[in-house]
Structure formats: C-alpha cells, structure tokens
Structure 1
Amino acid sequence: MLDFENVRKVYKDFELHVNLKVEPGYITGLIGPNGAGKTTAFKSALGLIHTDGGRLKVFGKPAEELAPSDRENIGVVLADSGFSSALKVKELLPVLSHLYPAFSRQEFIRQCDRFEIPMEKKIGQFSTGMKRKLQVLAAVSHGASLLILDEPTAGMDVIARDQLLSLLREYMETDGRSILISSHISSDLEGFCDDIYLIHEGKILLHEETDRLLNQYGLLKVTKEQYAALDQRYILKTRKEGFGYSCLTDQKQFYMENYPQIIIERGSIDELILMMNRRDA
C-alpha cells in the first residue's frame, strides 16, 4: 500500500532516512518526539516535498508516477494544514465534490451531524478539536483506500477522540484499506494500531507489532548488584536510576522465568519512546 525504501530527505540541519511499510489492511503507527521526522515522512509520501534518495511506492507505483485517480484514493490530515478559516462547512461541499468524484455529500453531512460540526458556522470559529474532526471527516468522505493522518486527535477531549477512533475503525471494515497515523497520545495507538514504527532524528529505531510490544516488551527495575548479575542478551536499552537501572527488553518472559526476584513492569509506548531516545545507554 505504502513503501519507503531507504527514502532520504536532506535539510541543512536535519536528515530523514527511513524504511517503512504500510501493508494492506493494516493500521500502522508512526511515533516519536517533536521534530523526529514524522511530518517530513508524511509529506514525502504525498509528494509535497522532493526526496533526495531511495524509493517510495504508493499502491505499488513509484510516487512520482501516481495518476490523479491514485491521488484521489488517498485521504489526508496534516498537522500544519487545514481548510480556510473564512469558509463555512457547507461551503466545503462543492469543493470536496470537485476534488473527489467519489465524495459522498450525504454521508459527509450525516457525519458532521454525528460529530456536532455545524454546517453554517465559519471554520475560523472552531476549536482546534473541531477543526481536526472536520479534517478527518473530509479525509474519509470519498472512499479512499489509504489514509495518512498526522496527529488527527490533537486538541480533542477523550470523548471526541474515542468517537473519532470509532469512525476510523468503521472505515477499516472495508477490505483493502490501510491507515498510516501519528499521535502524541500513546493510548490511542496502543488500542488502535496493528504495528508501530519509532522514529528519532529522522531514523527508524524500532518496528514492532503492537501486540508483541505490549505483551513481550517490559521494563526491568534492578539494583546495581542485580544488574551486574543480569543476562543482558535481551536488553535493548538501559537507563541509570537512583536505585540502580531501568532496562528495556523485548523478552519479558525470559526474565520473569529466570529472575523472579526482580521487578518487571509491562511495556508501553511511552516507555518505549523514553528509553529508545536516550543517548546515555
């Protein structure tokens, strides 16, 4: 569906260099701190910026060879873009109809009502969360096979986020669809994504299936003495603590069976980001 193969984008003080794949039927998460390269990767996939190397394929085609009909088959939400604040929502209807032949006017209006998006109100008067909801509704309104969503739940309260993720799950009920999504809210991705990529300073540090990350990854809390005696074959990252060390592992069961005396906490996306981004391993 979407395939980055050694894709590079070079700026004066930043370089993106990634391998990343979104499989058909998958919801793939891209996580990392601000400035890690998430938005650059998304814009590369959409052809909004020129890349400096590697191969980028969308729907099995080189990105530069996509036809207009291929681009119409992608729904997009970008963190730094949106609709004109001077427009009313109802004024988007002819715009979306022109851009996307498959745009469903009736379904879009129905979803706006569902998410309490007023058709007569100017977009500039919306809250950040309402603007985000509107962007996502537009992205799913034309039957796209691929959604590229950069921080789609930003600015939303917990109820609105749950409603939006439910909408995206409904979207995925049709075979052959995929989503690439980023979010700073780890709980959204833990319960939503099939697999997750961790990006830092333009590089992919880790790719893992979400179920494996949550079930087999863990955080060992050990004293200096316990750390010295620890089999470190399955330790991915270590952080010094006041009590000793925190150690990230992808073989939690091994340490549970062989070191029953040590404290082992469940893995989480937040801990993964904190541990993998540390320089002082």
Structure 2
Amino acid sequence: MLEVKEVQKRYGTFELECSLTILDGQITGLIGQNGAGKSTLFKAILDLITLDSGSIQIFGKEHHELSGKEKEKLGVVLSDSGFSAYLTVRDIIAILKNMYSNFDLSYFQKQMQRFQLPYDQKIKEFSTGMKAKLKVLIALSHHAKLLILDEPTAGLDVIARDEILDLLRDYMEDENDASILISSHIAEDLESLCDDLYMIHEGKMIFHEDTDVLLSDYAILKMSEEQFKKLDTQYILKACKEAYSYACLTNQKQYYMENEPGITIEKGTIDAVITMMIRGYSL
C-alpha cells in the first residue's frame, strides 16, 4: 500500500531520514515529539515537498507518478490545510462531488447526522471539535484506500476524540482493504486503534513494533543501583539513571519476571516507551 524507503530531506539543520511500510488493511501509528518530523514525512508522502534522496511508493507506483484517478484513492487530513473558513458544508459537498468520482453523498449525510454538524453554518463558526470531525469525514467520503491523517484529534476533548476514533474503526470495517497512517501525540488513541507503531525522533525512525507486542511484552524495570549492577542486560533496550534508582526498558518482560524477582516491573505503555527511547541510553 505504502512504502517509504530511505527518504532524506534537509531543512537547514533539520534532516528527515526514514523508512516505513504500511500493508493493506493495516492501521499504522506514527508517534514522536513536536518537531520530530511527522508533518514533514506526511508532506513528503503526499509529494508536497521534493525529496533529497530515497523513494516513496503508493499503490505500487512512485508517489509523484500517481494519476488523477489514483490520487482520488487518498484521503488526507493535514493540520495546516482545509477548505476556506467562509464556506458552508453545502458548499463543500458541491466541491467534493466535482473532485471525487466516488464521492458518497449518502455516507456523508449519514455521518453529518451522526455528528450533528450543520449544513448552512460557515466553517469559521464551527467549534474545534466540529472542524476536526468534518476534516476526517471529508477524507473518508470518497472511499479512500489510503488515509494519511496528521494529528486528526489534536486539541480535542475525550468525547470528540473517541467519536473520531470510532468513525475510523467503522470505516476500516466497511473498507477492509483500506489502510491508515495516523500521527498523534496522544498515546491512548494509538494504543486502542493501531496495529503497529513507528517512533520518529529528530527526523529518524528509532522504533517500530506491533502494538499488541508492545503492550504485552514491553516493560519498565525499576531497581536500585546495586540491583542494576547485577542485572542481566541481554534484553535491555534502554537504561536511564533516575534520582535514587535506575529504570530500564525491555521487550522481554516475562524473562525478567521469572529471573529478577527482586526488581519492580511496570507495564510498558506507549508513553513509557517514548520516554525511555528518547531519554535513555544503550548499554
């Protein structure tokens, strides 16, 4: 569905250098701090910026060679793009009908009713949550096969985020061969939605794992300095010195549960993994 291979793009002192693969029917999450390179990667995938090197393939073709028909199979939400704030939803429907041969008016109207969005109110008068729901709905309205969603739940309350995530889950059930690449700084959203996760830091991919494996096999080990000195470190990914102890990230929780009964073992979460991968050091 999507393959990003050894892509490089330099902006001054910042350099994007990464690879990733998204399979058919898969939801892939991209996590990282603000400024890590998430939005730059999304723009590279969408051919909005020129690559310095590397290649990006979508639907088996170079991304800059997609036909107009093939581009219709993309559904996109970018944080800094959208329709004019002076348009109404009725105006946008007329535009979508002309833009997409597969625009599904019935589906669009059904979701408009689901989210109680007004047809004749200008977008500038929408709340943040209403705007976010509309942007995602537009991306889904033409049966896109690949969704590129950059922080679609940013700035939303818990209820609004859940509504958007439910919309994405329903869409994947109906479009079982579709794929999603979604970024978010809210770990809970990705834990409950994504099949696998990539982590980007300072423009480079530093981590990739299946979400189920991360949640079941990863753990944070907490111990004293004396325990740390004696620790079997063959399955330690990162270590971090804390005020009065040490913390270690492992992807073999069961091993340490069975062989290190004296240390504290905490469940691995996306937030914990992010913190350890960025702050920790390799042994």
1:131 counterpart residue number: 131
2:24 counterpart residue number: 24
Residues 1-281 of structure 1: pairs in structure 2 closer than 5 A: 1-173=1-173, 174-278=175-279
In 2, are the aligned partners of 1:222 and 1:243 still within 8 Å (CA)? no
Distance 1:137 1:178 in 2: 16
Distance 1:129 1:52 in 2: 37
Distance 1:52 1:129 in 2: 37
Once the 2 structures are TM-superposed, how far is the Cα of residue 82 of structure 1 from its aligned partner?
1.7
Amino acid in the other structure paired with 2:266 = E
In 2, are the aligned partners of 1:219 and 1:267 still within 8 Å (CA)? yes
Distance 1:94 1:268 in 2: 44
Distance 2:136 2:193 in 1: 16
Distance 1:193 1:105 in 2: 28
Distance 1:133 1:13 in 2: 35
Once the 2 structures are TM-superposed, how far is the Cα of residue 155 of structure 1 from its aligned partner?
2.2
Once the 2 structures are TM-superposed, how far is the Cα of residue 279 of structure 1 from its aligned partner?
6.0
Amino acid in the other structure paired with 1:259 = E
In 2, are the aligned partners of 1:217 and 1:249 still within 8 Å (CA)? yes
Once the 2 structures are TM-superposed, how far is the Cα of residue 243 of structure 1 from its aligned partner?
2.3
Distance 1:99 1:37 in 2: 30
Of 147-156 and 205-214, more deviation after overlay is shown by 147-156
Q: Deviations over 1:56-106 (max 9, x none)?
A: 100111111111111100000001112211111111011111111101122
SS of match in other structure, 2:119: coil
Once the 2 structures are TM-superposed, how far is the Cα of residue 11 of structure 1 from its aligned partner?
1.0
Residue identity (%): 55
- Report runs of 4+ in structure 1 exceeding 4 Å deviation: none
Distance 1:160 1:34 in 2: 22
Amino acid in the other structure paired with 1:12 = G
Once the 2 structures are TM-superposed, how far is the Cα of residue 175 of structure 1 from its aligned partner?
2.4
Distance 1:210 1:280 in 2: 23
Amino acid in the other structure paired with 2:201 = H
Amino acid in the other structure paired with 1:98 = N
Distance 1:258 1:243 in 2: 23
Normalization by structure 2: what TM-score?
Answer: 0.97
Distance 2:280 2:71 in 1: 40
Q: Deviations over 1:177-221 (max 9, x none)?
A: 100000111101001100000000010001000000010000000
Distance 1:33 1:179 in 2: 20
Paired residues in the alignment total 281
SS of match in other structure, 2:81: coil
SS of match in other structure, 1:277: helix
Unaligned runs of 5+ in 2: none
SS of match in other structure, 1:147: strand
Normalization by structure 1: what TM-score?
Answer: 0.98
Alignment RMSD (CA, Å): 1.0
